[in-house]
Homo-oligomer: A and B are copies of this chain.
Amino acid sequence: MPKRVLLSETDLPDSWYNILPDLPAPLPGPLNPVTLAPLQPADLADLLPQKVIEHEFTQDRWVEIPERIRDVYKIWRPSPLVRAERLERALDTPAHIYFKFEGVSPSGSHKPNTAVVQAYYAAEEGVRRLTTETGAGQWGSALSFAGALFGLEVNVYMVRASFEQKPYRKSLMRSWGAQVYSSPTRRTEAGRKILAENPDSPGSIGIAISEAVADALSREDTKFALGSIMNNVLLHQTVIGLEAKKQMEIMGEYPDVVIGCVGGGSNYAGLAYPFLADRLSGERPRTRFVAAEPEACPTLTRGKLAYDYPDTTGLTPPLYMHTLGHDFIPGSIHAGGLRYHGDAPSLCLLKEHGLVEARAFPQTEVFDAAVRFARTEGFVMAPESSHGLKAALVEALAAREAGEERVVLFNISGHGNFDLAAYDSFLAGTLENPTVTDEQIAASLSDLPSPAASA
């Protein structure tokens, strides 16, 4: 048995898998943020490329990947699938632990899987500029890389706190030619308003989205790009799971449990949905699906399933999702990509139907798992991905208890090269485990939008 399965580029999927037609119930659609009536595709026309809007609403099970996008995927795809035998031995478990490794992309995570698609269609449709928001910087990096390849000017509104604390993410984006702004900026009405009220505002994802959206709407040649939660993003990420299925087949195994971390849900859906298709069709009725999240931001485990805004200021279409409230502020954890108040609607629906289990972990247990992994399998992974690893360890240890040869598959969504300050804190014993009370959640859920009667 090989340790690592590397497919050749002829094995690169030629279509993305769309789970929408296979869901166990119809997916409640997004709302118009102004009228709160059901959103029409045309409502998004000023904001997103036409083809991206099509991908958002399509009910086609398979969506063909254009040749020029496959050409770009080939820079780092297919990504490796690896059997973690050293980790298995260290855990003394009969479980077989596999990981899919998305850290090999130029920006170091799974994010380019959708960034190159959004950039490609924008360029095809004559767009010259893209705007986006970024927190810790993974998404902004991915879009900067993608924009460089298709000749687009990428404008990233980066949350001020990260802009100042993570200078190297900013440098990476600029190396690809992007403009990076410390948000709130004086470039938009929204930014100027915040700065007038509080010149020292550290910014937030919500503010940065507002600024990026305002920038895109203010110019004919500009569109906006988003890196998670939307259907089109999840669709593009399914290349991960489609490759992993072929790779598991080469290993002669099929996972008993498919695991990943969830911030907005895109890396997890990317890995899990192609396997979920087999469960939904009845072909693999016993495969389990585990979504891992931080205790500090427990959207799937403790959030409410309701319509809520994806951004803090209510400029974007409300989605029907597990939410902690659009003004929920999670405790300060290092997994910046998991500090988000909501989740992708399709993932929420699957969780509601018992097809996806959710688990929340405290920060120190997650880092303990990551260090254990680094010292056996070598790779130092992102704190986000370490949540999936932690869930995989729980499964592997349960398999040992049960004496079962359980097959565990999890996703490493990105490498940890930009997160080493967090490892430092963990090794120094200064890492904390922020939690959240029911009262805090109830308070931030008090302000949800009410769908119009027609929704």
Given A2-B8, A148-B375, A149-B376, also A171-B423 (CB < 8 A): yes
Give every chain B residue within 8 A of A86 (Cβ-Cβ): 149
Which residue of chain B is the closest to A104 with respect to CB atoms?
B104
Given A8-B2, A417-B108, also A174-B378 (CB < 8 A): no
| Interface check A9, CB cutoff 8 A | yes
Give every chain B residue within 8 A of A423 (Cβ-Cβ): 171-172, 174-175
| Distance of A165 from chain B, by nearest CB (Å) | 13
Which residue of chain B is the closest to A105 with respect to CB atoms?
B378
Decide: A3 and B75 in contact? CB cutoff 8 A. yes
User: Assembly of this chain: how many copies?
Assistant: 2
| Interface check A424, CB cutoff 8 A | yes
Which residue of chain B is the closest to A426 with respect to CB atoms?
B175
User: Within residues 360 to 414 of chain A, which ones have a CB less than 8 A from any CB in chain B?
Assistant: 371, 374-380
Give every chain B residue within 8 A of A187 (Cβ-Cβ): none
Give every chain B residue within 8 A of A377 (Cβ-Cβ): 75
Q: Report the contact-size class of chain A (Cβ under 8 Å from the partner).
A: 35 or more
| Interface check A194, CB cutoff 8 A | no
Complex CA distance for A171 and B421, rounded to whole angstroms:
7
| Distance of A353 from chain B, by nearest CB (Å) | 38
| Distance of A113 from chain B, by nearest CB (Å) | 13
Give every chain B residue within 8 A of A66 (Cβ-Cβ): none
Decide: A106 and B380 in contact? CB cutoff 8 A. yes
Which residue of chain B is the closest to A172 with respect to CB atoms?
B420
Decide: A378 and B4 in contact? CB cutoff 8 A. no
Give every chain B residue within 8 A of A75 (Cβ-Cβ): 3-4, 82, 377-379
Task: Find A175's partner among B76, B175, B374 (CB 8 Å cutoff).
Answer: B374
| Distance of A189 from chain B, by nearest CB (Å) | 30
| Distance of A111 from chain B, by nearest CB (Å) | 13
Decide: A379 and B106 in contact? CB cutoff 8 A. yes
Q: Which of A2, A8, A145, A171 has the most CB of B within 10 A?
A: A171
Decide: A176 and B106 in contact? CB cutoff 8 A. no
Give every chain B residue within 8 A of A415 (Cβ-Cβ): 417
| Interface check A168, CB cutoff 8 A | yes
Decide: A2 and B9 in contact? CB cutoff 8 A. yes
Decide: A421 and B168 in contact? CB cutoff 8 A. yes
User: Within residues 1 to 24 of chain A, which ones have a CB less than 8 A from any CB in chain B?
Assistant: 2-4, 6-10
Task: Find A424's partner among B4, B171, B427 (CB 8 Å cutoff).
Answer: B171
User: Within residues 136 to 178 of chain A, which ones have a CB less than 8 A from any CB in chain B?
Assistant: 145, 148-149, 167-168, 171-172, 174-177
Which residue of chain B is the closest to A169 with respect to CB atoms?
B420
Complex CA distance for A375 and B145, rounded to whole angstroms:
7
Which residue of chain B is the closest to A6 with respect to CB atoms?
B6
**CB-defined A-B contacts under 8 Å, sample of 8:** A76-B378, A106-B380, A108-B417, A148-B378, A149-B378, A172-B417, A175-B374, A417-B417
The 8 closest A-B pairs by CB, nearest first: A106-B378, A171-B420, A168-B420, A417-B417, A6-B6, A148-B375, A3-B74, A171-B424
The chain A residues found within 8 Å of chain B, CB to CB, are 2-4, 6-10, 71, 74-76, 82, 86, 104-106, 108, 145, 148-149, 167-168, 171-172, 174-177, 371, 374-380, 415, 417-418, 420-421, 423-424, 427
